[in-house]
Amino acid sequence: MTERRESPYVWVSWITRLLAGEAHCEWTAWFRSHHMQYEKKPGTFDFAKWNAEHAQMVRERATALAKDGFSVGIEDQNKFNLKGNSGAVLGGKPDIIAVRASDVLVVDCKTGQPRGADYFQVLVYMLALPLCRPQYKGLALSGRVDYREHAVEIAPDELSQDTAGRIWGLVERIVGDGELSRVPSADECTFCDITRYDCPERSDEASDSVQGEGLAPF
């Protein structure tokens, strides 16, 4: 049964597709931020397989960084909860944080196809960590998204003031009291676990695109 949270809570991955422009329904993140114990749509994703592959990838990357002289923390060692002035919390768990002298590298490992959301996930980590981990305050954090066959490096200056402003602006909207507008579509709703019980407007059709034949001058 759906319950209202005592105070809003946002997990980083709930907002990264919105930041990347790969999703547009801010209501989904707003609902998750303000509610818990909601009925979830059954999925077909094989979490057991993903967990095993992801864990192996993290171990391999962490081992390589340790050989390069980094002090490495993985998974739950890196979990954070950043509390804002409103009492809302932004939570996350970087796969790897590697430290060597004053160099801090934040790494997230991805077993799937590259997405813009992956890049923004690391940027949010780079923004939040110095605010909740005193040892990183004042340091320029670098980032990296590791895929199976390649990596995307993220320089400290890619976390610009404009980008930070976009991130905080989105989080502020998500944790606000006012319910945000739904933007249902077949593509987004397919990957959303919120059922019609809480979102009567969700689209379960294979495609909502408008079809026209023989009407255009080409």
Tell me the average pLDDT across 117-126: 98
Query: What share of the chain has pLDDT > 90, as a percent?
Result: 86
CATH number, residue 184: 3.90.320
CB 23 within 8 A of CB 30: no
Residue 26 lies in a domain: yes
Tell me the average pLDDT across 179-196: 92
pLDDT tens-digit readout, 144-184: 999 999 999 999 999 999 999 999 999 999 999 999 999 99
Residue 197 lies in a domain: no
Residue 121 lies in a domain: yes
Per-residue pLDDT band at 209 (split at 50, 70, 90):
low
Asked if the model's pLDDT at residue 206 lies above 60, the reply is no
Tell me the average pLDDT across 77-102: 96
Phi, psi of 192 (to 5 degrees): -100, 135
pLDDT tens-digit readout, 25-71: 999 999 999 999 999 998 788 889 999 999 999 999 999 999 999 99
Query: What share of the chain has pLDDT > 70, as a percent?
Result: 96
Range of the domain at 121: 3-190
Residue 178 lies in a domain: yes
Asked if the model's pLDDT at residue 214 lies above 80, the reply is no
Average confidence score pLDDT of the chain: 94
Domain count, the chain: 1
Residue 200 lies in a domain: no
Residue 209 lies in a domain: no
Structure confidence at residue 191 (pLDDT): 86
Residue 15's CB is within 10 A of a number of other CB atoms, namely 26
Cα–chain center distance at 99: 23
Residue 78 lies in a domain: yes
Residue 196 lies in a domain: no
Q: Smallest Cα–Cα separation from 172: which of 36, 35, 29?
A: 29
Structure confidence at residue 210 (pLDDT): 59
Instruction: Please give the Cα distance from 66 to 172 (Å, whole number).
Output: 37
Asked if the model's pLDDT at residue 129 lies above 70, the reply is yes
Tell me the average pLDDT across 81-95: 97
| Range of weakest confidence among 80-94, 122-136, 192-206 | 192-206
Structure confidence at residue 216 (pLDDT): 76
Instruction: Please give the Cα distance from 189 to 184 (Å, whole number).
Output: 6
